[in-house]
Structure formats: structure tokens, C-alpha cells
């Protein structure tokens, strides 16, 4: 849930990167932290969770305009996928204003993508949020691997696997090279902005 | 700044992580006092402009103290606004403390005080559309879909009386489930995206006759599920779990039959429970699950229009509370009546529950859908009874 901070005239909201382990959530965040330095506020917090890292930092997006005279301030998170990290997941996912689902383009991760998406739906449901209503975009990550002759799924297949019922904006990308990272984040924040706006009016 | 309490509340509403997050965004300075019902002494966290600077918990102080407080999930908190006076011993950033604290808690490295509370919440899955209820399912796991089929509006997908044991999942669209009677067809309910079509019991015992007709409402896209995969998984579950599934499946069929009989006015509700004694009262606390060793029992729901019979149970059927399946029947929303010859045995619910936990999400969804269908068909039956009265 977006929080209006009247002291700073900012609307604080939360965008969470979700996806199967090793899909590139942290790489996404690291790229953003590195490349959009002037919009990043403060240090990146990195917690080593088993098999994955949990990252967090504050982000002040530009060129998005204001809502009722307030700037948007975004907290970017990744969330550890394993079942045991339920408290962390709860803190991160509860009240998330926007989500970016990072799917792995590797053929061998096909099943993991689908399981993770279902997992996301179930987690959101626990906090009374419908995956069909929350601002959500997809990023089909690791597209750069095709240049290295590693077999990846074509976009149509991924769209069919993951986005058929949801029909949310989806972007091919590579968190390693930065392709599509900004686009996905921007699209998600635009959706968040619209949601905040319609909530306030 | 004054020294009175500015914020207080219960830790099961806001846990320490959320609390620190909230005070942090607000940039508050002061002392946070945390009290657990399981500890005599309170824990203290000192904040300067939203950032924790020191903490104490018994003999612990600094980071160790603040981390230990994450284990206090049952208790009270209060925040007193004041100027920070104590020495700064914590240098980690707020978010790092919160995320690391929760990680340690999840990894079991922080002692959790008090009994564990983990009540599961279940949403009401059925949505009402006009007269006929519509059941939708969760997201489809496409790795179980082996083939797709399209149907046009009005197409018959399954005909009552035909043979078949495939299970489909609706990828897109809606279908109507109806029963054929001498005086025409009766629409029972509709199913939408993510709902399943077909019986899981057919995979256990094989060669089943379709018990209802399913028609496409608008264009429908179906995914045929990998029955080999499902059958393999079912082959590995215990005999008890299989009989439970069979029992739930047979209950669903009976409830639908009852709906038809009620609608057709062929039912005398009283005759089902006549001469039987009430074993479980509707709304009564009952934690156990039973299997019938011998004799008969009847499930009936008490409504404003008297008891509505829902199913007749026989040898091998289950009744009681199934913690992982909500059929909307006994013990909360229906009563159980037993004949004199009834012989019961209690079932190890824990074992069944852990077995259910280990199933694939698709199978869990199918079973969940079956239970939801029982619940919704029961509602339909009761509505038919109401229309009659």
C-alpha cells in the first residue's frame, strides 16, 4: 500500500522483483543501482539468504511526473523464493504496489518459472491480493544467451506459458547487459502510478 | 518532545520488522518498548531519526538484542517519543536490520517466544453470477497440459453416461455443468478459468462413466492434463488417501444427485434422517476424522426450511473435519446422522495432511476444486429446497 509522506511530500511505494532462483532478480537490481545512480537514494542493502540474495534500496524515479504534487519514491526489493523465508516474504510482499516477475529464458528453467508464478499467486492471495489486479509486468530475462549458442525458449512460448491468463505487459531483456531492464521498471512504475492515482481520486 | 506514549499496539498486528519500517519512514526518535507475554522483562530499542541506534533485551545489548526481539511475535509494543540520549552501538542501516532479522528468524536462528500461531485462511472461491454459481480455479500449471482443444458456444464437451477418464482444465472461457432428467436438463453450476473437468477418482479406479453433461458457454479453450503423470503420482499415495479421495468424489456425485431430486421434487427430506440419531451437530466443534467400518450415515444441512439431505455414506466413506479440504459440510455447516449399525474408526489426520502437503500443485488444485464443487453444489441444493418452500 502506497504511503503518503506529508512531511517530505512524497508517495512511497514498493516494487518487488519476483521469480525463480537464479533467474536474475538481483542482477536486475544491481544493474539499476549501478546505472541510475542519480536516482538512487542511499546504500543498497544486501542480505545473504540461502541460495539467493535479498536486496533493497530506495529509488527516486524521474520523468514520471507528480501525483497531487507529491513525488514518487520507490522502494525496490527482491524476495527470497524458498518457502522457509516466510517472514521476509511477508514483509516484502505485503503491501507491494507493483511487481516485476523475472522469468528465466533457459529451456531447463521452464518448469521453475511456472511454479514460481503460481507460488507468487498463492503468496499474494494470503495477503488478500489478486494477481490479476496488482500492477504486474513480466521480464523474459537472459535473452543475451542466444548469442552464445545456448538454447533458450522463444518469446512466444514464454508468453504462452506465463502470460496467457494474466495478459500483462512483458519485455524481453538481459539484466547482465541491461537490455530491457529500464523498460520493465518504467512500465511497472507507470502502472503503479496509475493505480495510486485512481486510488486517490 | 513529550515523554508520553505516542504509539502502541499488538505485535501480532504489527511485528517488529513492520514496526521499525513504519517508525523509520516516519523518521521518529525515541524508545520502542516491546513486551512479550512469555517474558517478564521488556525489550527496548532506541531510535534516532528512524534508525535504530541501540537496544537491550535482558543481558543482551546492541545488535544481539535487537535480533533476539524479532522472535517476539506475541505481545505488545509502545513507542515513546524522546530525544535520543543513549550511546550509538548499532551502525547497520534500518532496512538491513529488518531484512537480516527476518532472515535469521526464518532460518530458525532466533528463538521464537510463545506458541506458534499459524491459522490458515481460506478464501471463498465461488463467485455468484446471476442464478447459477460460477467456480473459478487458480493459475494453471502448464507443465501438466499435454494437449489443447477448442470448443464453440453450445458444444457438448462431455455427455452424461459416456465413458472417459480424461481430466481437463479450462484455459479460457466458461462451461456449464448439467444433469439430464426425464423432464429435461437441469443446470447445476458453471466453471471458468482454472477450473477442472473430470473426476480424479476415475484415475484411481479407472473406467468411469461421466456423471454429468458439460457444455461450452461461449468459446472455450481446454487443456488436457497429463493423466499418466497424475496417475503415477496417485499411485504413490497411501490407500487411506485414495479412499478419502474416492469418498469426497462420491460425496460430490451424491450432492449433485440430491440437487436434481430436490429440484424434481422427488425427495422427502425427512425420510433420510428418520430413525437416525444425530452424531455430529451442525456447528459443533469436532477435530477428528472418521472412516465408516460398517453401517450407514447421512450428511444433512440444517436450514430455515428444515434439514436438507446431502449425501448417504457407506462403508469406506469418511466424515468429520479434514483440515486441508473445505467441503462446506460437517462439522461447521452440516450435521451427521447415524444408523444404529454404524461402526467407526478414527483416522490419522496428520498423516493424510502431510501426504496432501507433498502432492504436486496441480493435484492439490484438482482436489481443492472437488471440495469447492461439493460446497457450491450443496449451496445449489439448499437453494432448490428454498425455492420449493
Range of the domain at B68: 5-106
Contact A114 B103 (CB under 8 A): no
**Statement: residue B121 has pLDDT above 70:** no
Question: How many domains are there within chain B?
Answer: 2
Using one digit for the tens of pLDDT, what is the confidence trace for B287-305?
Answer: 889 999 998 899 999 888 8
| Closest-CA distance of chain B to residue A93, Å | 12
**Statement: residue A143 has pLDDT above 70:** yes
Cα–Cα dist A182/A188, whole Å: 10
**Statement: residue B116 has pLDDT above 50:** no
**pLDDT band at B136, cuts 50/70/90?**
confident
Neighbour count for residue B288 (Cβ, 10 Å): 13
Give me the pLDDT at residue B381, please.
Answer: 87
Contact B143 A121 (CB under 8 A): no
Q: What is the CATH number of the domain that holds B137?
A: 2.60.120.10
How confident is the model over B77-95, as a mean pLDDT?
Answer: 88
- Evaluate whether residue B120 is within a structural domain: no
B346 and B209 in a single domain? The answer is yes
| Grid cell digits, residue B131 | 442464478
B220 and B345 in a single domain? The answer is yes
**Statement: residue B201 has pLDDT above 90:** no
Using one digit for the tens of pLDDT, what is the confidence trace for A100-117?
Answer: 999 999 998 999 899 899
B332 and B376 in a single domain? The answer is yes
Peptide bond connecting B76 to the previous residue in cis, omega within 30 degrees of 0: no
Nearest to A169 by CA among A135, A133, A138, A143: A138
| Closest-CA distance of chain B to residue A75, Å | 11
Give me the pLDDT at residue A51, please.
Answer: 67
B135 and B227 in a single domain? The answer is yes
Give me the pLDDT at residue A15, please.
Answer: 94
ipTM (interface predicted TM): 0.71
| Grid cell digits, residue B295 | 453401517
**Statement: residue A148 has pLDDT above 70:** yes
Contact B143 A110 (CB under 8 A): yes
Which of B50, B78, B106 terminates a domain? The answer is B106
- Evaluate whether residue B286 is within a structural domain: yes
| Closest-CA distance of chain A to residue B346, Å | 31
Which domains occur in chain A, in start order? 3-200 (3.40.50.300)
Which residue in B106, B123, B139 is closest to A85 by CB distance? B106
- Report yes or no: B167 and B225 within 8 Å, Cβ to Cβ: yes
B100 and B142 in a single domain? The answer is no
Which residue in A47, A80, A165 is closest to B139 by CB distance? A165
Which of B45, B72, B106 terminates a domain? The answer is B106
Cα–Cα dist B104/B111, whole Å: 9
Amino acid at each position: 500500500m502506497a504511503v503518503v509522506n506529508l512531511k517530505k511530500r512524497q508517495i512511497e511505494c514498493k516494487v518487488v522483483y519476483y521469480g525463480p532462483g537464479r533467474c536474475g532478480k538481483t542482477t536486475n537490481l544491481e544493474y539499476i543501482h549501478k546505472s541510475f545512480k542519480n536516482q538512487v537514494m542511499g546504500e543498497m542493502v544486501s542480505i545473504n539468504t540461502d541460495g539467493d540474495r535479498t536486496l533493497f534500496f530506495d529509488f527516486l524515479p524521474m520523468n514520471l511526473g507528480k501525483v497531487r504534487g507529491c513525488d514518487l519514491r520507490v522502494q525496490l526489493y527482491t524476495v527470497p523464493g524458498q518457502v522457509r523465508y516466510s517472514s521476509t516474504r511477508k514483509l516484502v510482499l505485503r503491501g507491494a504496489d507493483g511487481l516485476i516477475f523475472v522469468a528465466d529464458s533457459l529451456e531447463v528453467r521452464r518448469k521453475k518459472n511456472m511454479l514460481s508464478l503460481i507460488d507468487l499467486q498463492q503468496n499474494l492471495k494470503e495477503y488478500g491480493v489478486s494477481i490479476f489486479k496488482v500492477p504486474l509486468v513480466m521480464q523474459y530475462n537472459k535473452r543475451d544467451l542466444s548469442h552464445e549458442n545456448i538454447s533458450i525458449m522463444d518469446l512466444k512460448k514464454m508468453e504462452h506459458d506465463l502470460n496467457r491468463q494474466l495478459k500483462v505487459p512483458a519485455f524481453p531483456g538481459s539484466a547482465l547487459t541491461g537490455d530491457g531492464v529500464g523498460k520493465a521498471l518504467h512500465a511497472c512504475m507507470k502502472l503503479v502510478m496509475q493505480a495510486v492515482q485512481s486510488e486517490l481520486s | 518532545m513529550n515523554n508520553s506514549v505516542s504509539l502502541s499496539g499488538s505485535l501480532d498486528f504489527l511485528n517488529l520488522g513492520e514496526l521499525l519500517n513504519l517508525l523509520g519512514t516516519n523518521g521518529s526518535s525515541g524508545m520502542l518498548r516491546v513486551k512479550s507475554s512469555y517474558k517478564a522483562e521488556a525489550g527496548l530499542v532506541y531510535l534516532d531519526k528512524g534508525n535504530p541506534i541501540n537496544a537491550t533485551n535482558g543481558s543482551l545489548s546492541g545488535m544481539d538484542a535487537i535480533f533476539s526481539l524479532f522472535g517476539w511475535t506475541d505481545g505488545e509494543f509502545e513507542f515513546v517519543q524522546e530525544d535520543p540520549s543513549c550511546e550509538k552501538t548499532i551502525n547497520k542501516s534500518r532496512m538491513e536490520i529488518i531484512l537480516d532479522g527476518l532472515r535469521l528468524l526464518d532460518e530458525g536462528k532466533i528463538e521464537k517466544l510463545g506458541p506458534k500461531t499459524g491459522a490458515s485462511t481460506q478464501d471463498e472461491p465461488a463467485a455468484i453470477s446471476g442464478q447459477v454459481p460460477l467456480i473459478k480455479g487458480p493459475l494453471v500449471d502448464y507443465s501438466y497440459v499435454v494437449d489443447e482443444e477448442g470448443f464453440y458456444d453450445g458444444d457438448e464437451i462431455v455427455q452424461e453416461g459416456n465413458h472417459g477418464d480424461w481430466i481437463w482444465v479450462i484455459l479460457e472461457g466458461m462451461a456449464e455443468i448439467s444433469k439430464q432428467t426425464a423432464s429435461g436438463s437441469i443446470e447445476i453450476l458453471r466453471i471458468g478459468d482454472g477450473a477442472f473437468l473430470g473426476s480424479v477418482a476415475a484415475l484411481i479406479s479407472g473406467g468411469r462413466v461421466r456423471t454429468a453433461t458439460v457444455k461450452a458457454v461461449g468459446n472455450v479453450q481446454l487443456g488436457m492434463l497429463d493423466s499418466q503423470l497424475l496417475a503415477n503420482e496417485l499411485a504413490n499415495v497411501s490407500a487411506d488417501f485414495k479412499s478419502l479421495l474416492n469418498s469426497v468424489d462420491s460425496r460430490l456425485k451424491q450432492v449433485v444427485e440430491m440437487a436434481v431430486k430436490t429440484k424434481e421434487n422427488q425427495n422427502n427430506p425427512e425420510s433420510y434422517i428418520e430413525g437416525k440419531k444425530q452424531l455430529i451437530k451442525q456447528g459443533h466443534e469436532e477435530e477428528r476424522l472418521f472412516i465408516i467400518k460398517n453401517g450407514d450415515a447421512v450428511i444433512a444441512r440444517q436450514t430455515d426450511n428444515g434439514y436438507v439431505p446431502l449425501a448417504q455414506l457407506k462403508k469406506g466413506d469418511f466424515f468429520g473435519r479434514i483440515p486441508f479440504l473445505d467441503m462446506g459440510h460437517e462439522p461447521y455447516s452440516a450435521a451427521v446422522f447415524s444408523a444404529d449399525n454404524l461402526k467407526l474408526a478414527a483416522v490419522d489426520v496428520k498423516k493424510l495432511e502431510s501426504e496432501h502437503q507433498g502432492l504436486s500443485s496441480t493435484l492439490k488444485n484438482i482436489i481443492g476444486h472437488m471440495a469447492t464443487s461439493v460446497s457450491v453444489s450443496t449451496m445449489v441444493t439448499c437453494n432448490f429446497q428454498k425455492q420449493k418452500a
